[in-house]
Amino acid sequence: MYNVNPEHAIGLIGGFVALILASVTLRLHPRWRAVPGTVRAAAVLMVVTAGVHLALIPHHLAHEPLTSLLFLLNGLAFIALAVSFTWRHWRLASAGLLIATVIGYLLYVGVGLEGSDQVGIATKLVEVTALGLALVPVRGEARRTHRSWRWAGLGVAMPLLIVMTGATVWIVDLARPDARHVHAGALLQSTNTVPTPAQVDAASRLYHETKTAIQPYEDWHQAWAAGYRPGGSTTLPSTHWMNQRYVDSGYVMDPHRPQGLVYANTHHGPVLLGAMFQMKGINQFGPDPGGPLTAWHQHENICITPFGFEFSLMTPFGNCALGAIDISVSPMLHVWIVDNPQGGPFAVDIAPSVVAALDRT
Amino acid sequence: MATNDTGRAQLADSNQTSRPEGAFVLLLLQSIFWVVAGLSALPFGLGGELHMAALGLVTLMLALVTCLVGIGVLWRRQWARRVALTLEVICIIGSALQLLLPIGANRGPVALLVDVALPVAVVWLLWGKKTRSFFN
């Protein structure tokens, strides 16, 4: 949901071209100056969404003819409405079409006929904005028609459609992540599917070398003396301790100089869970000796707050909570030295049950 | 198709403007985006991230303030126009920093629409002496 599907990129171009064309041609309408600016803006935005839908037809035509037909009808209907803004039932028709289009998209995404991407979400935002502009009553209108239902529509439909869009896109993204997104916000390195015997051996060597090298840090005082410091709150179940010198030096997967250590925060003090190797730059995945067993991962679109180094996930609308910043973290690889039944020694996460069990012992 | 005359949607008074209504719609949208952002941060509080939960609550408060400012703009209140302009300029500066710094922030069309285009549009709608004259 945070990326543009390359096959949908043409939709962005279509929308941009439509924006220019609408801004120029709609001015030629004899009644253009006679209507409020909100109506004019809504008409332009409807042409934009028409442009997006029409541009997407060729891509869908071969495999999804019905979708292509719907895109065509949708695009033509939006254009027809955009040029008939003086029509008596313009607001009702526009609101109906805009709401139906957003709900149709959500149904498509919900049942898996379409993947949610930036083009789809951006288009829905344009449509909801057009809906608001079409409905909002304007001071000084010559005839004050249907103002109460327009206010009601504005106050109910806009928030509802935005929340429904965000919730649907988010739930579908979490429930049906693509193969490289193992959990929310973590993008896996691209590797072969089944590890070769050589890769299994290499992964095993890396595991044992790392486990031996970080053994002294089971005593957290030793880690502290070596320069590792907690990188976040120690009230959470586990904390990454980072060695800034090793981060800055850019050691690559050196078992003797891992950039981070992960400790469980138990009632009897920090308990070492494993090591974390980290690359210096975003999108620079490290060497992958174990193939799919040792795939690095990069956290993308996470919201981090400097207050206690806590994080949350960016919304589908590109927002973080106030005071949190949207960042991506350079690729990392964990080596868990405790048994991690849910994902093995190189998994993205340690199972919460493992941490809880350590706390109970 | 039955078209009416210029009367239905035409502004009865040529001294009127629909810019405040347009700004209201955008401020309402922004307010909803912040509601979603605030709500999405709250569950992390359950996992022990108390600061994030607090930021979520602050964001919900900001969403409420933004909505009220939008209503103030709709009612042509000068204070609301000033607050909205200040708020949006801060948003633009914050978004510019986030987008320009090499921290891997998302630069997709949605983020550009919500974090840049929307605040710029609100500023454009409320800026200028002529627009100011519509507020009291």
Contact (CB, 8 A) for A321 and B58: yes
Q: Which residues make beta-bridge pairs with A135?
A: none
pLDDT for A301: 84
pLDDT for A1: 79
Are A313 and B40 in contact (CB < 8 Å)?
A: yes
User: Which residues are CB-contacts of B49 (< 8 A; sequence separation ≥ 6)?
Assistant: A233, A236, A308, A310, A311, A312
Does any CB of chain A come closer than 8 Å to the CB of residue B8? yes
Query: Hunting for tokens 């037809």 — which residue is that?
Result: A57
Mean pLDDT across the stretch A261-290? 92
Q: Which of A94-98, A167-171, B61-65 has the lowest mean pLDDT?
A: A167-171
Mark A158-195 as b/e (b = at least 16 C-beta within 10 Å): bbebbeebbebbbebbeeeeeeebbeebbbbbebeeeb
Which two three-digit tokens encode residue B99?
A: 């987008």
Is the pLDDT reported for residue B10 higher than 60?
A: no
d(C-alpha A53, C-alpha A13), whole Å: 11
Q: Which of A45, A91, A86 is nearest to B1 (CA)?
A: A86
Query: Hunting for tokens 């607001």 — which residue is that?
Result: A91
Helix axes A118-135, A147-175, angle to 10 degrees: 170
**Reported pTM:** 0.86
Are A133 and B105 in contact (CB < 8 Å)?
A: no
Chain B environment of A3 (Cβ under 8 Å): 108
Which two three-digit tokens encode residue A161?
A: 């459609």
Chain A environment of B10 (Cβ under 8 Å): 34-35, 141-142
Which two three-digit tokens encode residue B56?
A: 């979520």
Mean pLDDT across the stretch A321-338? 91
Contact (CB, 8 A) for A47 and A78: yes
Which residues of A, range 179-218, sit inside 8 Å of B by Cβ?
none
Is the pLDDT reported for residue A29 higher than 60?
A: yes
Contact (CB, 8 A) for B38 and B60: yes
Banded model confidence at residue B4, pLDDT cuts 50, 70, 90: very low
pLDDT digit string, tens, across residues A205-243: 999 999 999 999 999 999 999 999 998 778 788 899 999
Is the pLDDT reported for residue B1 higher than 80?
A: no
Enter the DSSP assignment of A218. G
d(C-alpha B36, C-alpha A270), whole Å: 35
Q: What residue ranges do the domains of chain B occupy?
A: 19-128
Which segments within chain A are labelled E, that is strand? Answer: 181-183, 186-188, 228-230, 238-243, 260-266, 269-278, 297-305, 310-313, 325-336
Does any CB of chain B come closer than 8 Å to the CB of residue A137? yes
ipTM of the prediction: 0.90
Chain B environment of A88 (Cβ under 8 Å): 2-4, 8
Is the pLDDT reported for residue B74 higher than 80?
A: yes
In this complex, how many residue pairs, one in chain A and one in chain B, have their CB atoms less than 8 Å apart?
217
Contact (CB, 8 A) for A351 and A238: no
d(C-alpha A233, C-alpha A239), whole Å: 7
Does any CB of chain B come closer than 8 Å to the CB of residue A316? yes
Does any CB of chain A come closer than 8 Å to the CB of residue B103? yes
Mean pLDDT across the stretch A35-41? 94
Query: Hunting for tokens 């041609």 — which residue is that?
Result: A25
pLDDT for A11: 95
Banded model confidence at residue A143, pLDDT cuts 50, 70, 90: low
Give residue B130's identity as a one-letter amino acid code. K
Does any CB of chain B come closer than 8 Å to the CB of residue A87? yes
Give residue B107's identity as a one-letter amino acid code. R
d(C-alpha B131, C-alpha B18), whole Å: 10
Mean pLDDT over all residues of chain A?
Answer: 91
Chain A environment of B1 (Cβ under 8 Å): 84, 87
User: Which residues are CB-contacts of B50 (< 8 A; sequence separation ≥ 6)?
Assistant: A235, A308, A310
Banded model confidence at residue A77, pLDDT cuts 50, 70, 90: very high
Banded model confidence at residue B5, pLDDT cuts 50, 70, 90: very low
Comparing CB atoms, the residue among B17, B102, B114 nearest residue A317 is: B114
Which two three-digit tokens encode residue B109?
A: 């069309």
Looking at per-residue pLDDT, the higher value among A59 and A183 belongs to A59
